Amino acid sequence: MKSPATIGSSGGGAFGEAALRCEGVTKAFQGVHAVNGAGFDVPRGQVTALIGPNGAGKTTLVNILSGFMTCDRGREFIGATEVTNWPSHRIARMGLMRTFQLSRELGGLTVLENLLVAAKDQAGEVLWNIFLRPGMVRRQERDNIERALDLLETYGLYRLRDARASELSGGQKKLLEISRAVMAQPNILLLDEPMAGVNPALIDRIGGYILDLKRDGVTVLMVEHNLNVVERICDHVIVLAEGRTLAEGRLSGLRENEQVVKAYLGEVIDAGTVR
């Protein structure tokens, strides 16, 4: 079992080409703009945070980027491929996976089964393979089970492998969602508030898992309000306000940006989020 990295060891290094890009993305609901011309690059192989005040449009933007929602205007690229308003299953085939702010586990399935359904390119999904290539299907199923069990051990869920997903605690459901996304072998992983509602010890573990993913070459974009975590594990920070990109950079530098402090950092500092 691979040990999670210690928070604070995110490292440095120059950014490569953008793994994910959005240009002028706009989305309105009954005339009210949730996202209003947002544009930014997510550097490949890095951990990027998307932060901003409540109502800034962060989750709406994640829904658009992952294909769960269409935009009214703007463009989205995964690498050099434009994927604007592609449905979520096509986005997933491009290697972009996501988790949700409120966990969406398959409650009627076991923890192990939740991971197995996420395995990519399953031969058994093609009907004639079951009859014409049963040996190949069985071998792949065995390989998927082995990989899923390894992930459950890594994420501390192995002893719960046969439990119904609906029986897990809130923190365990967060771990299940992340491990299920990893089971799909993503190139890009969008995490919507992965630290929300979990205890400090689990926050530290999840931060370590995210750094492990970075070391494995996965690009991570995470919506997060805990700026202590953002500062310790994120290479790049994008500030969203009123649906627009307000600023980008390291959090240490953004603390000196008067617009950012006024729009967001002043609020969270007053609320005690940052110490």
Tens-place pLDDT, residues 135-159: 665 776 888 899 999 999 999 999 9
Calpha distance 69→178 (Å, rounded):
21
Residue 144 inside a domain? The answer is: yes
99 and 205 both lie in a single domain: yes
38 and 110 both lie in a single domain: no
Calpha distance 249→156 (Å, rounded):
33
Answer yes or no: are the C-beta atoms of 33 and 27 closer than 8 Å: yes
Q: Of 136, 167, 198, which residue constitutes the final position of a domain? A: 167
Q: Of 140, 167, 194, which residue constitutes the final position of a domain? A: 167
- Residue 245: its H or E element: strand 244-249
Answer yes or no: are the C-beta atoms of 47 and 8 closer than 8 Å: no
The count of domains in the chain is: 2
144 and 266 both lie in a single domain: no
37 and 48 both lie in a single domain: yes
Residue 75 inside a domain? The answer is: yes
Distance of CA 93 to the CA centre of its chain: 16
Picking from 14, 2, 101, 37, the residue whose alpha carbon sits closest to that of residue 246 is 37
198 and 132 both lie in a single domain: no
97 and 209 both lie in a single domain: yes
64 and 159 both lie in a single domain: no
Please report, for the domain that includes residue 260, its CATH number: 3.40.50.300
Alpha helices in 23-133 (DSSP H): 58-65, 88-93, 111-116, 127-132
Residue 214 inside a domain? The answer is: yes
Distance of CA 241 to the CA centre of its chain: 20
pLDDT recorded at residue 224: 92
Residue 160 inside a domain? The answer is: yes
197 and 80 both lie in a single domain: yes
pLDDT recorded at residue 270: 46
Answer yes or no: are the C-beta atoms of 103 and 174 closer than 8 Å: yes
First to last CA, the chain: 33
Digitized pLDDT (tens) for each residue of the chain, 275 residues in all: 444 444 443 333 334 479 999 999 999 998 899 999 999 999 999 999 999 988 899 999 999 999 999 999 999 999 999 999 999 999 999 999 999 988 889 899 999 999 999 987 665 465 656 656 666 657 768 888 999 999 999 999 999 999 999 999 999 999 999 999 999 999 999 999 999 888 999 999 999 999 999 999 999 999 998 999 999 999 999 999 999 999 999 988 898 888 888 877 655 544 444 43
205 and 155 both lie in a single domain: no
136 and 210 both lie in a single domain: no
Q: CA neighbours within 13 Å on the CB side: how many for 66?
A: 23
Picking from 251, 93, 120, the residue whose alpha carbon sits closest to that of residue 184 is 120
Q: Residue 47: which domain range? A: 18-103+186-270
